[in-house]
């Protein structure tokens, strides 16, 4: 028998091996214990995601990009990132595949080097009089070759954000008008096809130009015409290909009226993906970010955006699907030791769960690397806590989403999916309370026990009320408990089942092994902890 610290407040969890299983027992004289029940409906699917739901962004920001006196981007730009870094390669390859969205604020100031289009300057130059504080930059063709070699080698699936401001003219209302000049974009797309760069799976038009826009805006009617133009370009250049890249837009903040007009004028199939951005925590300089992250009512507020967008798509005659194209939580590069620390996994995983519930197909995190919200450390490239949260989600949560509710007065967030690439169900429990341990029991509406000895149907199955012998010999589950090192929410080191997660000397991503727990025991969710629970022997009819 041994013990390990799993949370703040000196909570001790004892790991006890009994008949080959690992039971978890937690106790703390200073914290309360709440009994709760997780209700999972296994008879219907409420939403579906893409198989590669997890996505991360790579941005254009140069080292001179600073926010609130802090310059947090270093050499993490598409133009200067060390693509030969072993950890970076291994981190991307671990997802097999990882979707990567290339884009960001400066993408509408990028030109692409082609014959007759000189690449000067190749990097952005700081200039306070320019939009976003930087001059125009250029993507050298050599760098595009290097990026595509990296994508092929690491197995990434890439979505490139095109400059949508070429050809625009100022309008009296302050917005920009005139048709999109696609000449430079066409050159890049043709070059990409001619070079056989198959990692590029989609082309996205513009960044944050929807609604009122950030820095600039374009009305929805003109944007729809430009999207149709891009769709025509892609169909022409990829003519003869069995599958063609997706056309995505607008990569902006949700505005119901603007988005509604874009969808209506691109029906039924000119726009494959409608992308929106999320920075619902406010500016990175905010001193109350942690309070917002730990407040369930604040987190619930973003559901309105997901709900409104899905309602818009369902009521239209479109085949367009919704993605979160960029989400960093706190804008202006995030906040050091918050958006790159353990505490941010509460926000991030809750966002993934919420987005999935509303039929969002892909969720792109800002960023893979760069700023204070990267999945990887900007200078060492080592994974921050959210990288491991993303990887566990990617490996455990399947595409089919199940209705899930938690019945107890606690700050538990609960999400369940059919398991990925295996039988069973995966449950995610997030405890936002630092003083309450939750003992959660699972009840399912419609479930089958997948075992050689027990094939009975349990229409309303409570796995804690089965015969003791049956539970001990057949029904097990696998648990992944995520906690902060030393109980410090601002720690950039995450523990999995009490062990530090970190790359080895060769830069390899660590194995993430579960503990095996007898299903007769409740799921113990320690204060300020996250638990993925894979129940491989429990099968919901809708999981196939």
Calpha distance 217→214 (Å, rounded):
7
Paired sense of beta strands 362-365 and 321-327, if any: parallel
Residue of 188, 266, 257 whose CA lies nearest to 222: 266
Calpha distance 262→255 (Å, rounded):
11
What b-and-e string marks burial along 489-505, b requiring 16 or more CB atoms within 10 Å of the CB? bebbbbbbbeeebebee
Question: Is there a catalytic annotation at residue 261?
Answer: no
Q: Select which of 113, 204, 302, 326 is catalytic.
A: 326
The two structure tokens encoding residue 136? 């125009």
Question: Is there a catalytic annotation at residue 382?
Answer: no
Calpha distance 384→492 (Å, rounded):
6
Q: Select which of 113, 204, 208, 478 is catalytic.
A: 208
Calpha distance 107→78 (Å, rounded):
11
Cα 251 from chain centroid (whole Å):
15
Calpha distance 536→423 (Å, rounded):
5
Stretch (H or E) spanning 201? strand 200-205
Q: Which residues make Cβ contacts (< 8 Å) with residue 276, sequence separation at least 6?
A: 251, 252, 253, 254, 259, 305, 309, 322, 323, 324, 325
Calpha distance 320→266 (Å, rounded):
9
Residues identified as active-site: 208, 326
């Amino acid at each position: 028998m041994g013990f390990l610290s799993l949370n703040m407040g000196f909570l001790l969890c004892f790991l006890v091996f009994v008949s080959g299983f690992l039971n978890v027992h937690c106790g703390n004289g200073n914290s309360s214990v709440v009994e709760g029940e997780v209700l999972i409906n296994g008879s219907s699917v409420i939403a579906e995601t893409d198989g590669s739901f997890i996505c991360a962004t790579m941005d254009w920001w140069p080292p001179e990009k600073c926010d609130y006196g802090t310059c947090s981007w270093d050499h993490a730009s598409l133009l200067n990132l060390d693509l030969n870094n072993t950890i970076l390669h291994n981190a991307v390859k671990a997802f097999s595949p990882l979707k990567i969205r290339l884009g960001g604020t400066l993408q509408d100031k990028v030109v692409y080097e082609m014959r007759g289009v000189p690449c000067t300057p190749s990097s952005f130059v700081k200039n306070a009089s320019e939009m976003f504080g930087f001059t125009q930059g250029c993507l050298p063709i050599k760098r595009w070759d290097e990026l595509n070699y990296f994508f092929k080698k690491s197995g990434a699936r890439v979505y490139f954000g095109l400059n949508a401001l070429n050809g625009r003219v100022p309008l009296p209302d302050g917005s920009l008008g005139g048709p999109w000049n696609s000449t430079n974009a066409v050159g890049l797309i043709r070059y990409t096809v001619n070079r056989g760069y198959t990692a590029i799976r989609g082309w996205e038009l513009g960044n944050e130009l929807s609604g009122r826009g950030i820095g600039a805006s374009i009305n929805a009617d003109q944007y729809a015409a430009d999207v149709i133009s891009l769709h025509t370009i892609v169909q022409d250049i990829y003519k003869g290909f069995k599958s063609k890249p997706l056309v995505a837009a607008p990569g902006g903040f949700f505005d119901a009226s603007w988005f509604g007009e874009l969808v209506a004028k691109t029906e039924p199939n000119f726009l494959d993906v409608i992308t929106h951005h999320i920075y619902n925590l406010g500016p990175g300089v905010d001193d109350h970010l942690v309070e917002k992250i730990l407040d369930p009512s604040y987190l619930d507020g973003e559901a309105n955006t997901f709900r409104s967008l899905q309602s818009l798509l369902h009521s239209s005659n479109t085949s367009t699907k919704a993605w979160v194209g960029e989400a960093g939580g706190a804008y202006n590069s995030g906040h050091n030791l918050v958006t790159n620390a353990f505490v941010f996994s509460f926000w991030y995983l809750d966002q993934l769960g919420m987005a999935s519930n509303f039929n969002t197909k892909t969720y792109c995190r800002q960023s893979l690397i760069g700023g204070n919200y990267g999945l990887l450390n900007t200078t060492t490239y080592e994974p921050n806590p959210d990288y491991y949260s993303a990887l566990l989600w990617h490996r455990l949560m399947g595409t089919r989403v199940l209705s899930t509710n938690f019945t107890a007065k606690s700050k538990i967030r609960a999400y369940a999916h059919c398991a990925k690439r295996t039988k069973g169900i995966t449950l995610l429990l997030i405890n936002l309370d630092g003083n309450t341990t939750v003992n959660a029991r699972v009840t399912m509406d419609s479930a089958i026990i997948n075992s050689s000895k027990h094939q009975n149907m349990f229409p309303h199955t409570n796995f804690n009320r089965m015969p003791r012998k049956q539970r001990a010999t057949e029904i097990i589950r696998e648990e992944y408990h995520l906690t902060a090192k030393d109980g410090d929410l601002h720690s950039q080191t995450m523990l999995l089942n009490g062990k530090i997660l970190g790359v080895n000397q060769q830069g390899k991503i660590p194995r993430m092994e579960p503990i095996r727990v007898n299903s007769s025991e409740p799921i113990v969710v320690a204060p300020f902890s996250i638990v993925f629970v894979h129940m491989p022997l429990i099968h919901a009819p809708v999981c196939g």
